[in-house]
Structure formats: structure tokens, C-alpha cells
Amino acid sequence: MPMTRAQCLEADKIDPLARYRDAFVLPPDTIYLDGNSLGPLPKAVAGCLHDTVVEQWGQGLIGSWNDHDWIGLAERLGEKIAPLIGAGPGQVIVADSVSVNLYKLLATALSLRPGRTIILSSEDNFPTDLYIAQGLTALLGRERCELVILEGSRLMKAIGANTAVVMLTHVDFRSGRLYDMQSITQQVHDAGALMLWDLSHSTGALPLKLDAFDVDLAVGSGYKYLNGGPGAPAFLYVAARHLGNATQPLRGWMGHAEPFAFRPGYEPAPGILRFQSGTPPILSYRALEAALALWDNVDLDQLRDKSVLLSETFIELVQASEVLSDFVLNSPREAAERGSQVSFAHPLGYAIMRALIDRRVIGDFREPNLLRFGLAPMYTRYVDVWDAVAHLDGVMLNREYDTPEFREQPRVT
């Protein structure tokens, strides 16, 4: 039996993570279940940006590159993210976007496996990851780089002597399916290839163990569960064992060993620093820095335990409702195979989600028919889950989705 609303309220009272909710700006009378797309605003960000703009930039001017160590932000933020992904020092840096970092790391993987040309990925991978690999293939030509996209169940059997790198999204953005990072990475290594994980939908949602699982390369987002703001900078990870030989194609001045020597020839900076390219966007970096401060004392095992219970409660409530019998669970039923989101399929999914948002229950929609609900344990309450399903009941009972307005899709869904 799913929890009652009274039981959800009791669970919220004893939740060890409950204190973090007050650190966020959450509009009143709103249930926010879209942190897997964009995290809400941490309250500390506004003050941090005000100080950066008014004092550091306004008064310090160009001197703040040194006086406030703007120049060290990329590395400093990387060290903040490293414990969240199970990485030791010197292997993570914040830079650019997930797409740009993927380009860097795919090219790096090809250079680390000379003679191998295949990038292997799954057809349910996040589309931009596939687009980036397609672009690299188009640039280099198939004799030097070929993207092979397969259905997930065929992937591991397809790894061969010509596979340079396997690229997967750790948590599927549509279904929330969680790949077995340790097992897959081991199988890839057994075939002599490298493993590249996109952690955009798992960083800040569950514990990760990149070093322990011998992962080679990874990228991740700063604006989903890390709450760094819209378009927040991304991060990348390169295992220490590869840093001595790793090269990347976007050899900008910030990745130079002596960027202010202004020499015409490129010499890579030591270690992870070489994976920087252009001048960092300091305002975005500072917003992310303020957001990351929330994670200093978070117990990631508690985070995962709450995530599982939130999603189990959501699924049980939907499946117990006669009104919602037409909703088909699109996420794995086993909690161990699921990230921190729940997806349901319905033929009228978009209009239903619009009607829910009209009730101030904010999830999102993904083609062709999926309603997605992100469950961020730092601020999502158990009673939020109960109330969200009650609102979904109301939308269906009252046919609130059945309006022309809710069928018109804007540019962002």
C-alpha cells in the first residue's frame, strides 16, 4: 500500500535532508518536480552574484582575476564536484558545456586508442551526445572515426578490436533507467576500449564512484541537480592515469601551460588544466560556486535512500489510482535500476502536463508521450509527491487537459 498523506507528512518531519529545502527559492503553492531539467535557485546565489558584480567586478575591475582568484575558479569548482562523483583530486575541471566537453573527450579517446576508430553508443543516449559524435565523424571521415549506434541490448556484444570508446548516458533522460556503471566499464575495458559516461542526470542525485569503478572519462551538467542556474557551466573528468598522454582538440589559451606568455606555439598545461579552452564566464562560475557550497556536508547515501523512497511512493500512488489506470510506467520498476526521476507514458501526455503545470505542479514532457517527474531529495518532500499525484487525479477526473491551449506546444517543453 502506498503512503497516506499523513504518513508523508510524518516522513518529512524526520527527513535528515529536510533542512536543505530552506536553502532554495521555491515559489509558494508550487510543487517543483523538474530539477532533472533545471534546478531551482539556491538563495545564496543572488548574494554571491551581487558581490561579484558590484564589488569584485565593479570595484576590483581586472584586478579581481588575481585578488579574488577568478583565474582559479575552474579548477576550484572541479575539486568541489569531485567528491560528488567519486573522483580524487586533480581529475575534474569545470569548463564550457556538456556538448563541448564531449567533443573534447571523444577526440581525446580516439588519440588514446590509436588504430581504433569506432565510437560505440546506444540509440537511447541523450541526442546531443550522438550529434556531437556525428559531427566529429563528419570532420575526421569514417576512415578515422565512425559512430556506431545500436539498441541497448546489443551494445556490449558489439564491442570489438576496432572500438576506441563506448559513450553512454548513466541515467536515461526519458525513462530514468540507471546503467550498471561498474559492470559496463569492466566489460569495455576487457575489450581494450575506453569508457565515457555522461553524468548529467545522475550527479547530485545518487552516489557515484568513478575512481573505484575505473572509469576513464566523464562529463556532467552544472544546472540540473547541482542547481547552478540556466546554462550553468559543465564539468569533465579524466582519470589520472590518462592525463599524461591526453590531448584535446580545442587548444585555447586557458589550456596553455603559460597562457599569459602569449607565445604563438601551443604547449599544454599540466594535468586536467589542459582541458580548458577559452576565457571562463566568471558570473556563471560564481553562481555555480555558491550552489555547490550546499553540498559540503550532504550524505550521498541518505540522498539516494530518500530518492528511492520518493520515487517508490510516486509509482505506488499512481498505480493505486483507478483514475490513472491509463498511465504506463516508463521507468524501471526496480529501484536499483532507476535514477531520481519517474516517467509515465500517456497518449495525451503533453496536454496533461500542461494542465498539471497550470495547477502549479511542474514536471516536463518528452516526445513522444512521456510525462517526466524529477525528484530532487534536497528539496522535494514526500508530501509534494502525494499532492502531485492528487493533482494528477484531478486533472484526469475533470478533463482539464482537454483544451486547445494545452495542445499547443511552445519551443521549450
Enumerate the active-site residues.
Answer: 126, 198, 223-224, 372
* Whole-number Å distance between alpha carbons of 213 and 87: 10
Instruction: Give DSSP secondary structure letters for 250-298.
Output: ---GGGBSSGGG--SS--BPSGGGGG--S---HHHHHHHHHHHGGGTT-
* Whole-number Å distance between alpha carbons of 219 and 198: 5
* Cis peptide preceding 368, ω within 30 of 0: yes
By three-state DSSP, how is residue 94 classified? strand
Cα–Cα separations (whole angstroms), residue 287 to 47, 48, 292, 318: 9, 7, 9, 37
Q: How many Cβ atoms are within 10 Å of 143's Cβ, its own excluded?
A: 7
* Whole-number Å distance between alpha carbons of 133 and 164: 13
Long-range contacts of 254-261 (CB under 8 A, 24+ apart): 254/74, 254/278, 254/279, 254/280
* Whole-number Å distance between alpha carbons of 136 and 156: 22
* Whole-number Å distance between alpha carbons of 14 and 309: 14
* Whole-number Å distance between alpha carbons of 316 and 295: 30
* Whole-number Å distance between alpha carbons of 131 and 358: 34
Contact (Cβ atoms closer than 8 angstroms) between residue 90 and residue 244: no
* Whole-number Å distance between alpha carbons of 306 and 71: 37
Instruction: Please name the residue that has the C-alpha cell 503545470.
Output: 357
Cβ neighbours for 315, distance < 8 A, ≥ 6 positions apart: 329, 331, 333, 342
Strands 31-32 and 361-362: what pairing? parallel
With 0-12 / 13-18 / 19 or more C-beta atoms within 10 angstroms meaning exposed / middle / buried, residue 242 is middle
